Amino acid sequence: MAGEANPKVRVNREILQEFTKQMFHKAGLTEKNAALAAQALVNADARGHESHGVTRLEVYLDRIREGGSSATAEPIIVSDSGASAVVDGQNALGLVVGYFGMSHAIELSKKFGIGAVACRNSGHFGPAAEYALMGSANGNNCITFSISNATKAMAPWGSISPILGNNPIAIAAPTGNQPFVLDMALSTVARGKIRLAAARGEEIPLGWGLDATGAPTTDAKAAIAGLITPLGGPKGSGLAIAFDIIAALLSGAATTPDLVPQSELDKAQNVGHFFMSLHIPHFVNIDEYMSRVDLMLSNIRNSTPAAGVTQIYAPGDLELASELRANKEGIALQIPTWESLKKKAAELKVELPPTL
């Protein structure tokens, strides 16, 4: 690694997943839930979303140790009414509640064409796409929406009070090839990108951030001291409110202003999620759907590139490419992530996986 600009450690994907599972199991999760939680994190790493990968293992484990999250809780269905249900996550990890909620939404949609599950008393659920992709797996033939509210990050349009979450949404749809999957939050760009520009002393484009008075700024440092902007101004701001309504108010979870940050390790977060599934064969012939969706996405991939662009990707294509690379070359972990795994492995007396 010497000489690399951004040194990394590589670990075999299956081995990293087994290690992560052991860590969760040692922390008290059942073998089944430990396997699911490990899968969520390692899949995120494999798909190139390392901000939601094993770099978060430490905070999940620390929350269990400090009592903010429960290792042994199992989510329960508190009301099941037709095609809709409310789940109480019982303060289990959001990773566990995520699979539970979407799994039930898919089941409901297979009976009723559509299913919706609102979850309360959950925690940070990590990669929204992971749950959405369940609709495309195992011949489920479901189009899915996976939404969560999140802690305070943005201000409503026109305001400087950070009372909106950068609430994520993932939408996935099966295809004849790899699934279509869009996974996005509601800010113009991630705060991390603005931090990077600030660290490099670079300007940011107008529209990414606001200074502390709420005025648009190109000064990255002023934006870090101020606010990130919602996507498209009033549009992203309105979507953040809408997602808080369906994730928190339909489930009985906390709304963004009352959500406990993941970093307050000893306090329950009471995050809310909303999972929706549409079972395609209830609407149209599945073969016809498959050939039409494949044509749609191949038209997009084969459309004319803009100047300087070599390839056009459909949502999910880059993630698949990253996954294939991870399967071959192992998952690349940043040094601070590796150090955090080391520390936690020593704490829980689990053997650290070998690097490649």
Pairing of strands 152-154, 142-148: unpaired
Name the residue among 94, 128, 131, 99 with its Cα closest to residue 269. Answer: 94
73, 194, 210, 223: which one contacts a second copy (CB under 8 A)?
Answer: 210
Q: Considering the complex, state which of residue 235 and residue 343 has its C-beta at the smaller distance from a second copy.
A: 235
What is residue 292's three-state secondary structure? helix
Instruction: State yes or no: residue 131 binds a second copy (CB under 8 A).
Output: no
Part of the chain binding a second copy (CB under 8 A), chosen from 2-10, 90-98, 250-258, 338-346:
250-258
Q: Considering the complex, state which of residue 5 and residue 309 has its C-beta at the smaller distance from a second copy.
A: 309
38, 40, 116, 153: which one contacts a second copy (CB under 8 A)?
Answer: 116
Part of the chain binding a second copy (CB under 8 A), chosen from 190-198, 213-221, 263-271, 333-341:
213-221
Cross-strand bridge partners of residue 88: 76, 120
CA-only gyration radius of the chain, Å? 20
| Site mask for a second copy (CB under 8 A), range 270-289, x = bound | ------x-xxx-xxx---xx
Crossing angle of helices 94-112 and 31-46, in 10° steps, is 90
Q: Considering the complex, state which of residue 6 and residue 303 has its C-beta at the smaller distance from a second copy.
A: 303
List the Cα angle 185/118/87 in 5-degree steps. Answer: 130
CB of 259 to a second copy, least distance (A): 12
Q: Considering the complex, state which of residue 16 and residue 241 has its C-beta at the smaller distance from a second copy.
A: 241
CB of 44 to a second copy, least distance (A): 18
d(CA 309, CA 271): 39
CB of 174 to a second copy, least distance (A): 10
Q: Nearest 5°: phi and psi at 11? A: -130, 140
Q: Considering the complex, state which of residue 6 and residue 311 has its C-beta at the smaller distance from a second copy.
A: 311
Q: Cα(first)–Cα(last) distance of the chain, in Å?
A: 11
Part of the chain binding a second copy (CB under 8 A), chosen from 29-37, 192-200, 292-300, 345-353:
292-300
Instruction: State yes or no: residue 171 binds a second copy (CB under 8 A).
Output: yes
Q: Considering the complex, state which of residue 191 and residue 344 has its C-beta at the smaller distance from a second copy.
A: 191
Instruction: State yes or no: residue 157 binds a second copy (CB under 8 A).
Output: yes
Q: Considering the complex, state which of residue 299 and residue 327 has its C-beta at the smaller distance from a second copy.
A: 299
Q: Considering the complex, state which of residue 239 and residue 350 has its C-beta at the smaller distance from a second copy.
A: 239
Name the residue among 83, 286, 86, 272 with its Cα closest to residue 173. Answer: 286
CB of 111 to a second copy, least distance (A): 6
| Site mask for a second copy (CB under 8 A), range 76-115, x = bound | ---x-xxxxxx------------------------xxxxx
| Distant-in-sequence, close-in-space partners of 14: CB < 8 Å, separation ≥ 6 | none
Cross-strand bridge partners of residue 182: 171
List the Cα angle 240/243/249 in 5-degree steps. Answer: 125
d(CA 340, CA 334): 10
d(CA 4, CA 346): 28
CB of 86 to a second copy, least distance (A): 6
Of 179-208, which residues contact a second copy (CB under 8 A)? 180, 182, 184, 188, 205-207
d(CA 277, CA 93): 22
| Distant-in-sequence, close-in-space partners of 354: CB < 8 Å, separation ≥ 6 | 11, 12, 15
Instruction: State yes or no: residue 133 binds a second copy (CB under 8 A).
Output: no
| Site mask for a second copy (CB under 8 A), range 295-324, x = bound | -xx-xx--xxxxxxx-xxxxx---------
Of 226-245, which residues contact a second copy (CB under 8 A)? 231-232, 234-239, 241-242, 244-245
Secondary structure element (H or E) that encloses residue 170, with its range: strand 169-173
Q: What is the DSSP letter of 196?
A: H
